[in-house]
Amino acid sequence: MRDQYGRPLRDLRISLTDRCNLRCVYCMPAGGIAFRPPAELLQDHEILLLTRIAAELGVCKVRLTGGEPTVRPGLVDLVRGIAAIPGIRDVALTTNGVRLRELAGPLAQAGLRRVNVSLDTLDPEQFRRITRGGRLQDVLDGIRAAEEAGLRPVKLNTVVVRGFNEDAVVPLAALTLDRPWEVRFIEMMPFGEVADFAEGQVVRTEETLRRVEDAFGPLEPLDLSGEEPARTYRIRGAAGTLGFISPISEPFCSKCGRLRLTADGKLRLCLLRDDEEDLLTPLRRGASYEELREIFRAAAYRRPFGHALAERLIPRRRVMIQIGG
């Protein structure tokens, strides 16, 4: 399956919920969001059906996200079901890590291959502030459990936020000196009600990179091709690597082969545009498998090129917790 610009579509991100056990400042508006009633979210059998369609159309990688995917009941069985779909070669999870201590082992046994854990700081007080109440130790325990369960390589995602965690960049980068992890620094993106905050407090890759090089010396470039969203480097002699994801300063649209399925059953065609195709309504109205596959394929084909920020438009309809990063 390719889109109208010839980009192959192999990667599907599925949001399993719009709920979360943390409330990160760049993801959830201060006043909260109106959660969808569970009946309006995709049920397990609906997720499996849509994933089977995606796999038939050429998707081979699935990443489960949210909201916080580990708060969804029945996650382990759902992972097992997705991993068993013919054509799906890789099932990964993006999580805040809080529940990994108990779930990493069962998830690995069910067929999960890898995890990305979001971690913005190694300072407990800073962590509490950025997540509005979270406990750092839960995440550190979760990362250890993921490694022990064989969910490797561990990747850590850090959103750099001015006034919150710029000074966490160097200690986080230092984790790679003796651990085979990839620590990825992400530019904060503006969505809906958090757009003003995100635009005001964004820290660009150039600045984060400079901070790391001031501390550790010039970085060794590994992959700057733009094939992956992260441009990767290594601190000289380090066991792990560093990634820089720059949706604001260096968009990677030309290589983007990612589709997103929101928890309420919409196929989102670009993270940073509001264009969506409703799959839940035809699914529940009794559309046939072939009809659904055609709706899916036609929507994927329409994917836009170039994100809306380049046109100074901000995606307003949803914030990140309602999309799935």
Residues at the interface with ligand SAM (CB under 6 A): 20, 26-27, 65-66, 68, 94-96, 118, 157, 159, 186, 188-189, 191, 198, 320-321, 325
CA distance 238 to 303: 39
The item of ligand SAM, ligand SF4, none sharing an interface with residue 28, based on CB under 5 to 8 Å by kind, is ligand SF4
- The CB-of-162 to ligand SF4 minimum distance in angstroms stands at 17
23 binds, among ligand SF4, ligand SAM, none (CB under 5 to 8 A by kind): ligand SF4
Q: How far is the CB of 66 from ligand SAM (least distance, A)?
A: 5
Residue 233's region, left for phi above 0, alpha for psi from -120 to 50, else beta, is beta
Smallest gap from Cβ 266 to ligand SAM, in A, equals 16
Q: Which of residues 99-138 bind ligand SF4 (CB under 6 A)?
A: 118
CA distance 152 to 299: 33
DSSP state, residue 10: -
Q: Looking at the DSSP assignment, which residues form a beta bridge with residue 221?
A: 233
* 2, 23, 80, 204: residue in contact with ligand SF4 (rule CB under 6 A): 23
Structural contact between residues 15 and 266, judged by C-beta atoms closer than 8 angstroms: no
> Of the candidates 15, 51, 70, 96, which one interacts with ligand SF4 according to CB under 6 A?
96
Residue 189's binding partner out of ligand SAM, ligand SF4, none, with CB under 5 to 8 Å set by partner kind:
ligand SAM
Q: What is the dihedral of CA 96, 100, 101, 106, to 10 degrees?
A: 180
Q: To the nearest whole angstrom, how small is the minimum distance from the Cβ of residue 67 to ligand SAM?
A: 6
For residue 278, what are the CA distances in angstroms to 16, 42, 184, 208, 263? 16, 12, 32, 38, 11
Nearer to ligand SAM, 51 or 165 (CB): 165
Task: Tell me whether residue 62 or residue 186 sits nearer to ligand SAM (CB atom).
Answer: 186
Task: Please state, in angstroms and rounded to a whole number, the distance separating the CA atoms of residues 243 and 217.
Answer: 16
321 makes contact with ligand SF4 (CB under 6 A): yes
Q: Which residue carries 């036609």 as its tokens?
A: 298
Q: Which residue has the tokens 């796999």?
A: 55
Binding residues for ligand SF4 (CB under 6 A) = 20, 22-24, 27-28, 66-68, 96, 118, 320-321
